[in-house]
Amino acid sequence: MYIVTAKEMYDIDRYTMQEIGIEGKLLMENAGREVCNKLETTLEENKFITILVGAGNNGGDGFVIARTLLNQMHSVHVIQVVPDGKITGDVLYHKNLYLNCGGSVNYVEQAQDADELIKHADFIIDAMVGIGVKGVLKEPVSTIVTMVNEGPAYVISVDIPSGLPADEGESNFKSVQADYTIVIAAPKISAFLQHTAPYYGKWEVVSIGLPLPVFQQYADRHVITAEQFKKTMPKRNKYSHKGSHGNGLIVGGSPEMPGSLIMSVKAALKAGAGLITAGTYRKVISAVASQCIEATYLSIPETNAFSGNDHPIPTENYDAIALGMGMGRHDETRALVSDIMRQANCPLVIDADGLYHLKNELTILQARTGAPTIITPHPGEMAMLLNISVEALLEAPFQHALAFAETHQVYVILKGTYTIITAPDGKQAVSTAGNPGLAKGGSGDVLTGIVLAMVMQDPSVFQALCNACFIHGTSADLLVEESHSYHDVMASDVIEGISKVYRTFS
């Protein structure tokens, strides 16, 4: 499932109509019909349905919906929120079909003229303004949006709630608050942003016949699906051995935070890594070993200059390295992070305190041309790396993650309700797996361990990261579905849930 900007959606529509030859009125018909198919189990008989339509493609979809529901014997009341002169082209074609089938239209010039039809509605279908909205809504639409939001009806938006920006980077808007949104063809970026996603309510996507190759041509973002994971998850053959699935090193932990390292190590092994070595202070090894007997251990000095060829970490012995979890923010650990970044000629995953130290070592990233670097920040850490506020980051997370990935040639896993994976070449994916149970300390440490395991087992780094995020979030989802609540899921439970993911989707 692709994710699009408003421009990309317009380009896909244009190419489909002009180059492939599918007429716009047919796409409108498909959209309206598919929406009605989704509504079969939602709309009840003998209920008052108000449909709000505007002038654009969104309004055309609304007229198709009105005609279809009218023919299904529903009680349909259409409110047209723009003058007749603005209803043209394919939209006018479908308006006339609706009228020819016995429908009627209530044109409102003042918002108050719509008051009764909104107030008495059991269901409101919002097809006023689509992805082309720019700036503040005009009257009467602005006031009608307020009336809809304050009314008692169940609100269904077509493609996008009216007034909501399709793209990121916009915070000054007024939008319908939908209970349910039926997205046309592909979800828009705003469906995955913290400040806009709630306006969609529950949402689903319907296909209207736009060819897949056109999406592949214009869109470079997608949602990670279970079907994709099934096709790409690492497979094991009968002749595999521990060396077949990667020899990884995880550097981190401290006397104050040994648990971070423990969780990363256990998650990496549970996710399928062949061999894992935990690199940590000698006084921490016993604590880690008591919790994970399958790992081996590498003692690192508590103080060291970490320079030249005297570095204490034999990075050349490993297929991939992860560092930062619970290691602390002292000068010694900063030197250790810098040293490993310079010396390691293998995939390197940086998280937690490692990201704090990375802030002062960004110039090293461009020098790591021989092997990929992966960072796994939460919004606070990403904002710190970018020198911006968290609020600014969350308004445009796709843009900011992309800019950082391209500038520094790294892979970015920007964690959140919707986790955004970005490659240095600009490809992006979103993981929708996971739930509020992951909002606890240690969840990120578990993800880092899974990431390390996946990177060592998949030749495509980007696909490995997508699979890692799917495993992490889906483990939490299966736990809540089967035996836990959002409140009691622990990071250690998520590790144990990894096996449920493999059993369910293999």
Q: How many helices (H) and strands (E) does the chain have?
A: 19, 17
Strands (E), 318-410: 320-323, 348-350, 373-375
Mean pLDDT of 392-400: 98
- Where in the sequence of the chain do the CATH 3.40.1190.20 domains occur? 226-505
Q: In whole angstroms, what is the distance from residue 65 CA to residue 63 CA?
A: 5
> Any residues with CB less than 8 A from the CB of 92 and at least 6 apart, and which?
none
Q: In the prediction, which pLDDT does 311 show?
A: 54
With H, G, I as helix, E, B as strand and everything else as coil, classify residue 30.
Answer: helix
293-311 confidence digits (pLDDT tens): 999 999 988 765 444 445 5
Q: In the prediction, which pLDDT does 308 show?
A: 45
Vertex 402 angle, CA 426 and 368, to 5°: 80
409-437 confidence digits (pLDDT tens): 999 999 999 999 999 999 999 999 999 99
Looking at the chain, how many residues does it have? 506
With H, G, I as helix, E, B as strand and everything else as coil, classify residue 277.
Answer: strand
Q: In whole angstroms, what is the distance from residue 116 CA to residue 105 CA?
A: 14
Mean pLDDT of 128-133: 94
> Any residues with CB less than 8 A from the CB of 199 and at least 6 apart, and which?
161, 164, 175, 176, 177, 178
Sheet of 202-206, strand order: 105-107, 75-80, 48-53, 123-127, 154-158, 180-184, 202-206
Q: In the prediction, which pLDDT does 305 show?
A: 43
Q: In the prediction, which pLDDT does 303 show?
A: 62
More confident residue, 139 or 366: 139
Confirm if 59 and 92 have CB atoms less than 8 A apart: no
Q: Which fold has domain 6-219?
A: Rossmann fold (3.40.50)
pLDDT at residue 134 is higher than 90: no
With H, G, I as helix, E, B as strand and everything else as coil, classify residue 325.
Answer: coil
With H, G, I as helix, E, B as strand and everything else as coil, classify residue 258.
Answer: helix
Number of Cβ within 10 Å of residue 136's Cβ equals 10
Q: In the prediction, which pLDDT does 79 show?
A: 98
Share of the chain above pLDDT 90, in %: 90
322-344 confidence digits (pLDDT tens): 999 999 998 889 989 999 999 99
Sign of the CA dihedral with 449 first, then 452, 455, and 456 last: negative
> Tokens in use for 481?
């579905």
> Any residues with CB less than 8 A from the CB of 314 and at least 6 apart, and which?
none
More confident residue, 186 or 310: 186
- The confidence band for 459, taking pLDDT boundaries of 50, 70 and 90, is confident
- Our CA dihedral for 53, 55, 60, 61, rounded to 10 degrees, sits at -50
Vertex 282 angle, CA 277 and 286, to 5°: 75
Q: In the prediction, which pLDDT does 367 show?
A: 86
- Nearest CA to 500 out of 479, 480, 484, 483 is that of 479
- Where in the sequence of the chain do the CATH 3.40.50.10260 domains occur? 6-219
Half-sphere exposure of 7 (CA within 13 A, CB side): 4
With H, G, I as helix, E, B as strand and everything else as coil, classify residue 126.
Answer: strand
12-34 confidence digits (pLDDT tens): 999 999 999 999 999 999 999 99
Q: In the prediction, which pLDDT does 307 show?
A: 45
What's the pTM?
Answer: 0.95
- The confidence band for 312, taking pLDDT boundaries of 50, 70 and 90, is low
Q: In the prediction, which pLDDT does 50 show?
A: 98
DSSP assignment letter at 2: B
Mean pLDDT of 101-108: 97
Q: In whole angstroms, what is the distance from residue 24 CA to residue 30 CA?
A: 10
- Expressed in angstroms, the distance from the first to the final Cα of the chain is 21
CATH classification of 226-505, choosing from 3.40.190.10, 3.40.50.740, 3.40.50.150, 3.40.1190.20? 3.40.1190.20
Q: In whole angstroms, what is the distance from residue 62 CA to residue 127 CA?
A: 5
- Our CA dihedral for 288, 294, 295, 299, rounded to 10 degrees, sits at 60
Q: In the prediction, which pLDDT does 309 show?
A: 45
- As a whole number, the mean pLDDT across the chain is 95
Mean pLDDT of 389-410: 97
Q: In whole angstroms, what is the distance from residue 38 CA to residue 379 CA?
A: 35
